[in-house]
Every structure is written in C-alpha cells, then in structure tokens.
A and B are shown apart, each in its own frame.
Chain A
Amino acid sequence: MNPELAGYIRRRSEALERIRRMLSVCLKLQGDPRQIDPDTALFGTGLGIDSLDAVEIVVAMEIEFGISLADPILRRSSLRSVNGLVDLVLAGGDGPNV
C-alpha cells in the first residue's frame, strides 16, 4: 500500500474512533463503541437520534474537533451517518473529503 493511502486510512481510522467515543457519550450508548459500524445512519434507522440528540452532537463536534456546523445544509448532510461526521473531521469542517 502506498504511504499516502496508508496515511489516509490511519487518519480516517483515528477520526472514526474519536467520533465513536463522542457518540457513545453524547447518546449514552450501551456497549463497546467499536461495535458502531461506520456507515450507520444517525437519524431514523441506525442510531435513531432525535433533534435533541443532534444538538448534543453539534455541540460535541465543536468541543471535540473545533468544527462548527452552523451552515444548515452542511449540518443536514454531515449528520446523516457516522462516516459523514468522519468526512467532516477529515475535511476540517468544510464538507466531505471525497
């Protein structure tokens, strides 16, 4: 594997672990955070968060990563899945890194 790809996977994996721990605390999830699959949806099916949970996550993203989700379109796009939040972290808050 080339070093650039290996570095990307390492950064992505580290960001995912931090997001999982953050979600586990915010949502008071039972069990091992590593069992949260990365493409799990946040709303509806998946983790089944509600609008109050979403506010908690927005605040936690700001505290944990310094990322503001003030833009409503970016907020709706990023708060769709665990990996959506990871994309946001890797992009430094500017949107998906793909």
Chain B
Amino acid sequence: MSSLEAASWAIRTANAVTRLEHVRAVRLAGPGAQDTLDALTTSRLFLREGQMLHTLMLEPGGSILADAFLCLDEEAWIFLWEGPSLEELLVHLEAVRSEVKAAEISVVDLLAGHVLWSLDGPYAWELCSALLGPEVLGAPYLSFLQLQGVTCFRAGKTGEYGYLLLVPRERLEGTWARLRELGEGLGLVEASLPALDQCALENWHFTLRALESFSRASTLTPAELQLRWRVDLAKEFVGARALREHVARGIAERVTCFVSPRAILPEQQIHLDGVAVGSVLQVGWSPVRKDWVGWGLIDLGLAWPGIGQFRVSTAEGDVPIETRSPPLLDNRSLFVDPRRHCYATRADDGFPPLVSR
C-alpha cells in the first residue's frame, strides 16, 4: 500500500494528521479590522464569538483569489487562508483598507509563533479529545476554542470529523510526541497534502489546488464552481461588481463531479456524441472507491449528475465517465456517534460500507 493509499484509508476509517504548511494564519485587530475584512471577503460577516465562517476572497474580475476561514475571537479576527503569500495578503489588505477608508488595523502573523496541523478521520474527535480535553466533543462544526494553549478549530475538508490545531512552537515537540503516542491505539497515520486533496475531491470540498492544472482557472468564478453559498451578492467586496454582472449575463458552464474507470488527465476534453462539451478540471485515483474521481467543467445544459454517455478523449482512446452527485462516499463520520462509538469497537459497530454506488 502506498503512503497516499494508507493515508486515504486512515482519513476514511481511523485518524490522520497533516502538517498544513500551505495554510497561512493572521490575527487582525483594531477599529478598521471588521470593515476591511467585510470588503475583502465574499460572505456576510455575521459571526458570534467563537464561530468560524468559510468564505472566499476574489480577484477584481470575480475569480477565486483565496479559500479562507474567518473566526471571531473576542475583539479580534483570526484569518486562515490558502492562496496568496503573507506578503501578498498584507499588500492586498492595505489596499482594500485604504479603498474603503477603514480605520487602522494591526496584523500579527500567527505562524511566526505557531504551527498548524489538521486531524481528520471518523475518530478524530476521539484523538483530539484525548489530546486536548473533553471540551472538544461539544464543539460544533465551524467553531473554535482554546485548550491547553492550543487553538482548536472544528473544520475540515475531507467529509470526516476534522480539527485544525494551531500549536505554539514552544510546545510543538511535546504536543507532537503526545499526539503520536495517543494515536498509536487509534490508527493514526501522518498524511500528505495530496491525500487530503484527494479526499476533498471525493467529498466535493473546494481547494485551490483543484484549479492548479486547469489553464482556464482564472475565468472561473464561484458561480461556475458551485460556491455561491459562500457569496453574498448583496454586499460590496472585491470582485462583487464583476461577479454580479457575470451572474446576470448567465453562466455557460458548471463544474460537475464524475467517476471514471480509467486514468484521465486535467484539460482533456469531455465529449457527448462526438461533440466537445467540456474539459476535465481535476481528477485523482480514489484508493477507497477504486476508481478515478474528478470534476469536469461542462456546458451548463449538460452539467447534470447521472449521465453515463460522456467520453473523455485520451491518447489511448476514449474513456467513459459518469457524472454523479457528490459526495461520492457514505463517510463513516456520518454514522460514528461519539456518545456510542469508539475506535476500539469499530469492527462490531455495523457501519454501512463506505462505497454504495
């Protein structure tokens, strides 16, 4: 079993930890912080203390700049994002602050003094509570709390129980050792970013890396990517005007999930009855499903799940694909109840299979 395969199985059936070196984190405070963040992000900033918001930052033209979580922490905001570097974000932040004439803000790079890990799996709650305390069990999805000096964010992009841990660097070695020790009895595997990304693909969680191999990524807005739930078009933010105009004109394509029995590649054309109707956006082998899972950008009139007549043109000939409604797994986390189940009794708990279709 390859490390990617072992990590995928651990995420789907046990526990996995990943060092999130691609995610950046800052703490923003000051009288201008809220107005600046409001103009920077696409969602309505309606948060209570301890809550998180899954949002986006857009380019002025409406395409995706960053995939982000925004968290309200007393009088400040914690901003976690994937996309621009810290330096790029600071420049952008200041430009937006100046544009909206917001008051001063202060920004602290949290990763100067912390590292960020991700714990994912149907028993991640068990490992995380053993590490940080039983308070973890009461944390609703998209909330965060401070435990033993660690900030624990209840969030993930795999379809399983997920926690992001912001660990102070001075406690890194001890916390890592304790995590590995506790994880020995809980099936813990260290996972790589590609394993997390494959799980995100299977569960229809957007990541910026899903766009990396697609040459037309800069033309895709939240409307094509089915991310409008993260956008409040009634408010003003960077990219809002372009996105409103784009949506008013009507989109021509939509990203749709598919499965394939054979290997295909991003950018390859999708055909129906010999006519090009789309392109493969991203695709990856699913060790759990035992087939290829992908997202295709398909002409809007055909961008529906349940169609098995599509073909992808490859150098080895046409490959049939079938569009599906994601998520593509019956995630174990749907059925694991921390009040009744635990890793030790998993074999006797009678869960349904991970793949039913």
Report A's interface with B, CB cutoff 8 A: 1-2, 5, 8-9, 12-13, 31, 35-41, 43-47, 73, 76-77, 80-81, 83-84, 86-87, 90, 96-98
Contact = CB atoms under 8 A, between A and B. Distances in A.
B99 interface: no
B306 A98 contact: yes
A81 B324 contact: no
A90 B306 contact: yes
Of B229, B272, B309, chain A has the most CB atoms within 10 Å of the CB of B229
A48 to B, nearest CB: 8
A87 B228 contact: no
Interface string B315-348: 0000000101111001000110000000000000
A39 B326 contact: yes
28 contacts: A1-B302, A35-B228, A35-B247, A37-B223, A37-B228, A37-B254, A38-B226, A38-B305, A39-B325, A41-B204, A44-B142, A47-B229, A73-B330, A73-B352, A76-B330, A76-B335, A77-B330, A77-B334, A81-B325, A81-B326, A83-B305, A83-B325, A87-B305, A87-B325, A96-B325, A96-B357, A97-B306, A98-B324
Contacts of A97: 306
A47 B223 CA distance: 15
A2 B308 CA distance: 13
Interface of B, helix, strand, loop or mixed by DSSP: loop
A62 to B, nearest CB: 21
Given A76-B335, A98-B325, A12 B257 contact: no
A45 B54 contact: yes
